[in-house]
Structure 1
């Protein structure tokens, strides 16, 4: 194992007065979150970096403020075997192996049987993966394998939940004049999910208040006089990393509205994944319930718009 570039380490040595458990537990949890390993009681180790030294010093300060004694030390390993021994202490392979086993149980059959549960499971697995990866100071094949399997499972779920989801196109997003897009017919795929519902809400609320919507069983039969959105070759669809809602924000100069931008992050996460958003599970459950209760897409949009109005108002207040 070649660790010649990883011979420098940072160490925290602490001792607490008396038997008070509260400050001890607080520091222990913080060090666990950093991924520090325990060399012996009161001695913690991290690979050296500026951020590691700052994090360890913060815990040293906490120990000292509680009446204890603490020192942060940086040192170089005496030799390669010692560096190898230290590096093995940071091996995250068991954590990845546990996640791989969990992911492998989510075969195509189980995903199809319970899409909502699988969605929750995959979000939990994604959070656990990111937690492990955050303290994986020496990543290797186990991380790559886990990332690959997790991405495959997420892609399978995404394809199942959103058949016909458009492929992102590349290029710049043109800035458009809202005055040219008034009282128009807008068309998208039937049985809309979050990106189409949110985009339709955005169109009617901020772009074309008198918009009329057509729900297409076959996007290839989109009326010639309709503005298509969120399907391949539509006037407005995914561009690069942006989902349709975000493309509409950029197209009509709505990105200055911070509340709409926050909604954009929420829609993005629910539609294609990415950075988790706290409100996402709640909105997903509401929209999924609405889709099961309402067969008419116009009614579905009407009900979904209420919750999007609530979220927008809340984000605006914040």
Structure 2
């Protein structure tokens, strides 16, 4: 049987400030309420440390709190504790929301669908962050979101690459100097970020061409971000991540690693990144302002420069 944290708290009815503060903190941990003033959390929960902080906060405020570590007395009590963390209803609500968004696909704009997809991402992230005993419900929800995202991408970009199954081999940048790089026209975040990565870290003299049909890729050009290209999605990595790993650009580079997570989030979803919504809005604006793809890339390069600089800077503001 697992270890459990039990927080008991006796709070004054007034003033209400402490009660509100404690309630918000408990909600953030995902703790279950055994009864009023008695809260339960699995000891293995990532938020477990917050209960110790909350115990100190309550006692420092002149109220009374005690944090205990216990094991359930028997299987029946273990079941009672676990039942406080049944997330089945939340997953069912999520799947219903995903189903509703699928029905809206034909009548909604790309901007609206991407915004709704971000909301679903956040909804699932919140559920899974407090799902301390994940099972098939969590897996089904993740698979449903991935399938929906793929449907939306194919709806607006029928030639969006599918993930290849291959090893990512390390290559030297010296092999790719003065090359022409080719990808699909109207590049979105992964293609723009990959072009920035190539021009800033691989081949400063790189030229880029934008293909209406990838079968027209010129002989000798380095194709990227389409099926059969030299650089494209591999496994769960998007093209930016593949290019970065191929040339060893993420190793020992936390800022590049964070940018890779950001691009991944915007391209195929996954781990939510605070900066994602802002970067997506700016790229969307660049798309509107620059119908020519060469102009679009020229405008996007300083945007990614600024983003990378911000990710490198100490977080002291």
TM-score interval, smaller chain: 0.7 to 0.9
Q: Does 1:260 align with 2:256?
A: yes
- Whether the 8 Å CA contact 2:177–2:206 is kept in 1: the answer is yes
TM-score (normalised: structure 2): 0.86
Q: Deviations over 1:98-125 (max 9, x none)?
A: 3232222112543562221221222222
* Cα separation, 2, equivalents of 1:82 and 1:262: 43
Residue 203 of structure 2 corresponds to 208
How far has the Cα of 1:47 moved from its partner? 3.8
How far has the Cα of 1:96 moved from its partner? 2.4
How far has the Cα of 1:301 moved from its partner? 0.9
How far has the Cα of 1:298 moved from its partner? 0.8
Q: Does 1:301 align with 2:301?
A: no
- Whether the 8 Å CA contact 1:162–1:193 is kept in 2: the answer is no
- Whether the 8 Å CA contact 2:45–2:132 is kept in 1: the answer is no
TM-score (normalised: structure 1): 0.86
* Cα separation, 2, equivalents of 1:280 and 1:263: 10
User: Which of 260, 268, 273 is matched with 2:269 structurally?
Assistant: 273
CA RMSD of aligned residues (A): 2.6
Residue 88 of structure 2 corresponds to 93
Map 1:54-73 → 2, pairs under 5 A: 54-73=49-68
User: Which of 27, 48, 53 is matched with 1:32 structurally?
Assistant: 27
User: Which of 64, 80, 98 is matched with 1:103 structurally?
Assistant: 98
Give unpaired runs (5+ residues) of structure 2: none
* Cα separation, 1, equivalents of 2:143 and 2:220: 43
- Whether the 8 Å CA contact 1:112–1:160 is kept in 2: the answer is no
How far has the Cα of 1:81 moved from its partner? 4.4
Map 1:33-52 → 2, pairs under 5 A: 33-49=28-44
The count of corresponding residues between Structure 1 and Structure 2 is 313
How far has the Cα of 1:67 moved from its partner? 1.8
- Whether the 8 Å CA contact 2:287–2:296 is kept in 1: the answer is yes
How far has the Cα of 1:220 moved from its partner? 2.0
Give unpaired runs (5+ residues) of structure 1: none
- Whether the 8 Å CA contact 1:10–1:52 is kept in 2: the answer is no
Residue 312 of structure 1 corresponds to 308
**Bigger Rg, which one:** 1
